[in-house]
Structure 1
Amino acid sequence: MIKPPTQATTINGHGRPRKSWRRGRLAVVTGLVTVLAATTLAQATPASASRTATPHLPRPTGSQPVGTISLHLKDTSRPDPWVPAVKYRELMVSLWYPARSPGRERAQYMTAKESELLLKDGGITGIPSDTLSRTRTNAFTDARPAGRKHSLPLVVLSPGHSKPRSELTGLAEELASRGYVVAAIDHTYENVATTFPDGRVTTCVTCEIAKERGWWVKLEKSRAADVSFVLDQLTGKHPKWKSARLIDTSKIAMAGHSAGGASTVTAMLQDSRLRAGIDLDGTVESEVPASGLSRPFLLLGKPATYTPGKGEAAASWERVWTGLNGWKRWLLMTGAVHLSFTDLGVLADQIGLEVGADIAGVRATDITRRYVTAFFDQHLRDKPQSLLDQPSARYPEITFCAPEEKTCA
């Protein structure tokens, strides 16, 4: 049985606590960090009838098998921004890529220890501590990469604050099955648990820090530096991935969820290699300069937070929108909650928790994948996508917003 919430707090899309009558971070078993860092749920209750024995990610819809590998990277040019005693920035990065054929070894979603720490941090009881580590993925660790030299676009993914890079695995698998290389970053000390090859597990130093707008701006800038470093390591003269020659360095983009989405704006402003970007339900604190950002950008979020004219978070998107001088869209997904844009909405449904969404996790995942893929296909592969031009009968949950007029339809 899941222990009921006992304290008062809900948490907005950027990870900042707000007063409420329930403790939102206990809302989702697999939300663990998701709810801890970013959901607006008031409570969650078991829905045992919908439980499945083994959590699993929806299969990707592309035509190619998916391979994956993890990289351990060290940036010796700068100290860690959160633990200054550590004189270098150390990161774990997962890569997904199209493969020649399926392998035999499926990738683990996360380690048993990571699952244990995340569940404990969320106050979740009554389920095995390794529940999340048993999630079935669709990528293989022994699959050989496929593709011609310099033929594959690269997409960088950044998760929400306090959340692991694994929360975006389903999206990464989808993109890889459609011919993209995808790099998801664990931003060290910003996540409840990151495991390194030598067995060390770092925890969330930033979760204990009192936060105000200036702190979030620092976080966004720090993540932008992480992204630029990872791009250096994948596309420089001595790349850390032996198959990096497959990457087309003229076709690089970024997407992120929550704080990761907010950081996408800053990363694009700081690194011109990023040709397009997506913010998935993330409040942006950094300012877009007067010169603006002329590269394509997609804002995709939930109506409760990001309807134009409806509060502080929406106002942050309005500031960004004004500074976007190129192709841009502001889309909202009816029925979504904060975790709906990640794997965690799907996994919560499978485990049997009601998390407050009016859209099924698998449906939200399908929609997120479809619009994200359409965006990158259009702006990295020059394949026009009518889906991005007007509402679709196939996806009636998506509304197009005109922030100048404070309307969505």
Structure 2
Amino acid sequence: MTRIRPAAVLAALLLALPLSVAAGPPAGAAPARVAASAAPPAAVRVELPRPTGSYAVGQDVLELVDRDRTDPWVPASGPRRLMVSVYYPARAGSGGPAAYMTPGAARMLLDAKLPGNTVPTEALTEIRTWAASGARPAPGRYPLVLLSPGFTMPRTSLTGLAEDLSSHGYVVALIDHTYENTGTTFPDGSTLPCVMCGRLRSPEDWAGLDRSRARDVSFVIDRLTARPHPAWRYARMIDPARIGTAGHSAGGAAAVPALLADDRIRAGADLDGTMDVPVPATGLGGRPFLMVGHPLPDGAEDPSWAESWPRLDGWKRWLTVAGTNHASFTDFPILLDALGLPDDGRTLSSGRALQLTRTYLTAFFDLHLKGVAQPLLDGPTPRNPEVGFHP
């Protein structure tokens, strides 16, 4: 588990995006880069993999303001403000296409990784998603899963995972942690930058970030399950007795302090995140925990995972997915593969990596939030030879 890979993968992606959306290369581009794609630039249309569940997927975008908490990174800005995309089981054929990113957030992402670039914002805003904005909800009550992205990564990096979970009968709250990613757009039109990028230099800094994210998660739960005035118009869909949390990198690491601080969360999952807040000797109160990671060189183990593993006192699994790198559990490698671009350290296709991430995370929550038996989680299977189980 490393905090370097997402930025490296994203930089490679953004360097390549002009091939798919522009009539020609940006000024100063090397001729070899123009030849990197076999398809004409305008012919490349990137889309996320289709959700695999039986439900259509709806999406609402919420601004939530915690008036009891001053923003931890920019106190002068006032209360902590968050943007949250809520995905939910929906009635097919209702609503309109949901955008992947806002133009403001896309522009800041491009400018942060490629200062002075000429890549159009449409490179990111026009990525094909499968959720319908404002769709009518499907009947019933569903478990709630909170998703948190990696540090510097926008919440949209987990869109494919959020859409798939929702298609399997979950309400999913995908959180942008303000000032911790390249840009968060609010309804007033402002897009706030990554104030914390480059400022985390010690283990204590990282642990502080994870604990702050855990507070964000609990606040989102508060607002979505509040009675009689929840923040979301379809909050009646949520079963507050069935709540889980998961995330990638720092977002996954934040699952540990979230479980420690909030008894409402019944299960947690960490996708390749170093545990800056280790599992304490007293465990997690018997609650289940899933760890999914990429293989480290020479069979090494992340020390924080090795330390926390024996302390997990409930159902637990530690899965390693062969051929993946740190970003394989997000959307971004999908874009790299669509453009025919290499990605160092990854031999498993992005589609297969995301398929496995979706499959095992859904199985985990189906088992622990829905009570549906999942033999898939009992051990290795020939169907998924890439997935190894820690003894």
2:266 matched residue in structure 1: 275
Structure 1 alignment gaps of length 5 or more: 1-11, 33-44, 403-409
TM-score, structure 2 normalization: 0.89
Contact 2:61-2:86 at 8 Å conserved across structures: yes
TM superposition outliers: structure 1 runs of 4+ over 4 Å: 15-18, 124-127
Pick aligned residue for 1:86 from 77, 99, 104: 77
Pick aligned residue for 1:102 from 93, 96, 103: 93
2:374 matched residue in structure 1: 385
**Which one is further off, 72-81 or 125-134?**
125-134
2:315 matched residue in structure 1: 327
Contact 2:110-2:119 at 8 Å conserved across structures: no
User: How much has 1:127 moved relative to structure 2?
Assistant: 4.3
CA 1:170/1:107 → structure 2, altered by over 3 Å: closer, same or farther? Answer: same
Aligned positions of 1:204-243 closer than 5 A: 204-237=194-227, 238-243=229-234
Contact 1:162-1:190 at 8 Å conserved across structures: yes
Q: Deviations over 1:278-302 (max 9, x none)?
A: 1001001113222111200000010
Contact 1:69-1:94 at 8 Å conserved across structures: yes
1:117 aligns with 2:117: no
Identity among equivalent pairs (%): 49
Q: Deviations over 1:5-44 (max 9, x none)?
A: xxxxxxx6235999xxxx7763332899xxxxxxxxxxxx
In structure 2, distance between residues paired with 1:274 and 1:133: 33
Aligned positions of 1:252-291 closer than 5 A: 252-291=243-282
1:68 aligns with 2:68: no
Structure 2 alignment gaps of length 5 or more: 18-32
**Corresponding residue SS for 2:38:** helix
One-letter amino acid of the structure 2 residue matched with residue 110 of structure 1: M
**Corresponding residue SS for 1:27:** helix
In structure 1, distance between residues paired with 2:255 and 2:307: 15
CA 1:30/1:247 → structure 2, altered by over 3 Å: closer, same or farther? Answer: farther
2:363 matched residue in structure 1: 374
Q: Deviations over 1:64-83 (max 9, x none)?
A: 11100001000011111101
User: How much has 1:245 moved relative to structure 2?
Assistant: 1.0
**Which one is further off, 289-298 or 323-332?**
289-298
Aligned residues: 369
1:345 aligns with 2:341: no
In structure 1, distance between residues paired with 2:95 and 2:139: 20
Contact 2:5-2:327 at 8 Å conserved across structures: no
**Corresponding residue SS for 1:166:** helix
CA 1:58/1:79 → structure 2, altered by over 3 Å: closer, same or farther? Answer: same
2:122 matched residue in structure 1: 130
CA 1:25/1:385 → structure 2, altered by over 3 Å: closer, same or farther? Answer: closer
In structure 2, distance between residues paired with 1:394 and 1:17: 28
1:155 aligns with 2:140: no
RMSD value over aligned CA atoms? 2.2
CA 1:104/1:273 → structure 2, altered by over 3 Å: closer, same or farther? Answer: closer
1:398 aligns with 2:383: no
Contact 1:292-1:324 at 8 Å conserved across structures: yes
